[in-house]
């Protein structure tokens, strides 16, 4: 009888961080224990390399980091770096530690580092990915499409999933930008006779969402108001095309995992790393700029999460018949 490996997911609790780690765990066929770290003072103000007691740093607000240690640790985010290193050290080789994103310390302190290519990180235990890891799989898209089919049944085709991000450290979604985006969406919808499935994020903001909604008046648009179950994966599954704002690597990568045309709307702002990411996605034939017109093209869905999972199985020394770690997620 095969014993399922114990897997921990360690993040700061942000949805985007959880999604990357959970997607990788699921691709390995594992149901992980989720641990969120919320460092107490003074640790939350210091770089991880200065943490003197990383396993006690989370404090009462975070989940306890105590043995027995997991067989596999999947972590991401700046605040998880020191605890992940400490767990690996305390486990004395029994924990295979995977750090997602650039940890800003020597990658050799982990068993494997998974970093997006635009971070330009290299090393014998570094895997570079095109974009972020995620939870989008064909099975999840099919299941969620069936779940939300009735909600969007009245919308005409082509149906377009519209993924709205917002302001962050690199980009700004202003009232003018929201108006330009809403106008371009309305123009595209009318020209193609399309139905729009729109989902704002927390960063979009109520004001910008209202501006987009006003511009879409008179079009066939369904804007999720945040109530009830999140239709995000259902929208991706039901869409014939996708429009996403360019402020989120996660969002654009998830859209490209569908194999459907992904149109990227540029927000105000710039970032060298984001510029490299978007250039790579365009060069791979997955995305095109959104200027108010829907285009149709095809490409192989981006499946980096499955590729990373296969490499973890190889490095952990599991054969194809060794149990859950060798399985495919849903």
pLDDT, one tens digit per residue, over 78-88 is 889 988 998 99
Residues 71 and 16 in one domain: yes
Residues 150 and 267 in one domain: yes
Residues 194 and 283 in one domain: yes
Tell whether 240 is covered by a domain: yes
Residues 261 and 296: beta-carbon distance below 8 Å:
yes
* pLDDT tens over the chain, length 330 residues: 467 889 999 998 888 899 999 999 999 999 999 999 876 666 566 665 555 555 665 655 667 888 999 999 999 998 899 889 989 999 998 999 999 999 999 999 999 999 999 999 999 999 999 999 999 999 999 999 999 999 999 999 999 999 999 999 999 999 999 999 999 999 999 999 999 999 999 999 999 999 999 999 999 999 999 999 999 999 999 999 999 999 999 999 999 999 999 999 999 998 899 999 999 999 999 999 999 999 999 999 999 999 999 999 999 985 333 445 544 444
Residues 181 and 162 in one domain: yes
CA proximity to 292, closest of 168, 146, 194: 194
Residues 160 and 92 in one domain: no
**3-state DSSP call for residue 257?**
coil
Domain CATH code at residue 199: 3.40.50.2000
CA proximity to 286, closest of 245, 241, 247: 241
Alpha carbon distance 265, 22 (integer Å): 28
Residues 83 and 45 in one domain: yes
Residues 288 and 263: beta-carbon distance below 8 Å:
yes
Counting Cβ atoms within 10 Å, is residue 101 exposed (0-12), middle (13-18) or buried (19+)?
Answer: buried
Tell whether 63 is covered by a domain: yes
**DSSP secondary structure letter of residue 270:** -
Over the range 56-74, which residues count as b (16 or more CB within 10 Å of their CB) and which as e?
bbbeeebeebeeebbbbbb
Tell whether 1 is covered by a domain: no
Residues 118 and 273: beta-carbon distance below 8 Å:
yes
Counting Cβ atoms within 10 Å, is residue 292 exposed (0-12), middle (13-18) or buried (19+)?
Answer: middle
Residues 115 and 240 in one domain: no
Residue 302 phi, psi (nearest 5): -75, 120
Contacts of 293 (CB under 8 A, 6+ apart): 187, 188, 191
Tell whether 298 is covered by a domain: no
CA proximity to 7, closest of 36, 40, 29: 29
Q: Work out how many domains the chain is built from and give that number.
A: 2
Residue 212 phi, psi (nearest 5): -60, -45
Residues 217 and 273 in one domain: yes
Tell whether 51 is covered by a domain: yes
Tens-place pLDDT, residues 91-115 = 998 999 999 999 999 999 999 999 9
Residues 152 and 284 in one domain: yes
Tell whether 294 is covered by a domain: no
Residues 178 and 206: beta-carbon distance below 8 Å:
no
Domain CATH code at residue 100: 3.40.50
Structural domain boundaries enclosing 112: 7-130+304-326
Residues 181 and 54 in one domain: no
Residues 182 and 62 in one domain: no
Tell whether 2 is covered by a domain: no
Tell whether 297 is covered by a domain: no
Residues 156 and 231 in one domain: yes
């Amino acid at each position: 009888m095969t014993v399922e490996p114990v897997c921990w997911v360690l993040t700061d609790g942000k949805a985007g961080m959880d999604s990357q780690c959970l997607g990788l765990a699921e691709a390995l066929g594992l149901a992980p224990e989720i641990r969120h770290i919320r460092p107490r003072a003074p640790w939350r103000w210091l770089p991880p390399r200065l943490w003197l007691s990383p396993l006690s740093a989370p404090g009462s607000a975070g989940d306890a980091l105590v043995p027995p240690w997991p067989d596999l640790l999947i972590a991401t985010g700046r605040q998880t770096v020191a605890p992940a290193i400490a767990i690996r050290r305390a486990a004395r080789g029994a924990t295979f530690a995977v750090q997602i994103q650039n940890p800003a310390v020597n990658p050799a302190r982990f068993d494997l580092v998974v970093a997006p290519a635009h971070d330009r990180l290299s090393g014998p235990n570094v895997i570079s990915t095109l974009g972020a890891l995620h939870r989008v799989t064909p099975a999840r898209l099919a299941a969620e499409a069936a779940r939300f089919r009735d909600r969007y049944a009245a919308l005409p085709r082509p149906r377009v999933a519209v993924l709205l991000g917002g302001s962050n450290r690199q980009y700004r979604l202003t009232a003018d930008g929201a108006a330009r985006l809403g106008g371009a969406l309305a123009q595209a919808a009318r020209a193609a006779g399309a139905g729009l499935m729109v989902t704002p994020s927390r960063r979009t903001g109520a004001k910008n969402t209202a501006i987009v909604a006003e511009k879409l008046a008179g079009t066939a648009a369904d804007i999720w108001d945040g109530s009830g179950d999140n239709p995000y994966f259902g929208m991706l599954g039901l869409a014939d095309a996708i429009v996403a704002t360019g402020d989120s690597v996660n969002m654009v990568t998830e859209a490209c995992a569908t194999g459907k045309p992904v149109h990227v709307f540029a927000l105000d702002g710039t970032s060298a790393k984001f510029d490299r990411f978007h250039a790579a996605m365009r060069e791979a034939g997955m995305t095109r700029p959104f200027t108010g017109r829907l285009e149709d093209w095809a490409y192989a869905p981006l499946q980096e999460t499955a590729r990373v999972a296969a490499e973890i199985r190889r490095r952990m020394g599991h054969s194809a018949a060794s149990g859950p770690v060798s399985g495919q997620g849903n």
